[in-house]
Amino acid sequence: MFILAINTSLRKSSIAFIEDGRILDEETWISEKSEAENLMPKIDKYFMKHDKKYIDLVRILVISGPGSFTGLRVGVTVANTLKYLTSADLISVNTFEYFWWSKENNDKNEEKEKTALLIFAGIRGVYLSATNEDTQEKDVELLDINEVNDRLEKLKVTKIFGELVDEQLKKINVKDKFEIKTSFGENILYILKNKDFKSEKIVVPIYVKKPDISVSKKSLFN
């Protein structure tokens, strides 16, 4: 089974090629809002390197966001287009799922610390995801950066992970960070082996929204 995975939702974009349960190749690069020029040439390069054709694709996985408009649009559009042009199945993983499942891939033992996922949502905005003690589901909230510390304290969070810019990190009081050490390809391989998916006709990107137009986005993960 030949699989292409695409992630253009973060500050670093990634592609991975998986075949028969192993990573055939992968690449991660700083996006610099240049995915329109870089993504397809990079994908083409690896198809040529491994003597593959697009009709060989059996499955396409794309990270659906939230993410920046420019990069995310390109990645999702490429995935949708390849789905249309080939007989490959199309599946998506949102950014919250990707991070939590990647953490699961790195942390096989249950942590005693309360951990929260923080993701950039514009310079003033932060997505905060943490386990709901009542439902054990991962809730997602969209907060103003100035609200984050109070929310972390209320949730009794002692460790954070995810992706924020340096300017935002300086404002966060919780300094203990969980590091995801596995690569994009390794995380995707883990997700494909351990999670179930339904094939989609088209993936709709989830763009970053301004914190002043929304308070909670819990439905994004459920």
d(CA 127, CA 217): 9
Tell me how many degrees the CA angle 124-118-130 measures, rounded to the nearest 5: 125
What pLDDT shows up at residue 50?
Answer: 97
| Residue 161 within a domain | no
Phi, psi for residue 31 in degrees, rounded to 5? -70, -50
What pLDDT shows up at residue 70?
Answer: 86
Task: Write the CATH number for 192.
Answer: 3.30.420.40
| Residue 138 within a domain | no
What pLDDT shows up at residue 217?
Answer: 43
Instruction: List, in order, residues 6 or more apart from 73 with CB less than 8 Å away.
Output: 205
d(CA 129, CA 124): 17
Low-confidence ranges of the chain (pLDDT < 50): 211-222
| Residue 218 within a domain | no
| Residue 136 within a domain | no
- Residues 45-68 have pLDDT tens digits of 999 999 999 999 999 999 999 988
What pLDDT shows up at residue 214?
Answer: 41
What pLDDT shows up at residue 35?
Answer: 83
State how many domains the chain has: 1
Q: Which residue segment(s) compose the domain that 186 sits in?
A: 2-95+181-209
What pLDDT shows up at residue 109?
Answer: 63
| Residue 8 within a domain | yes
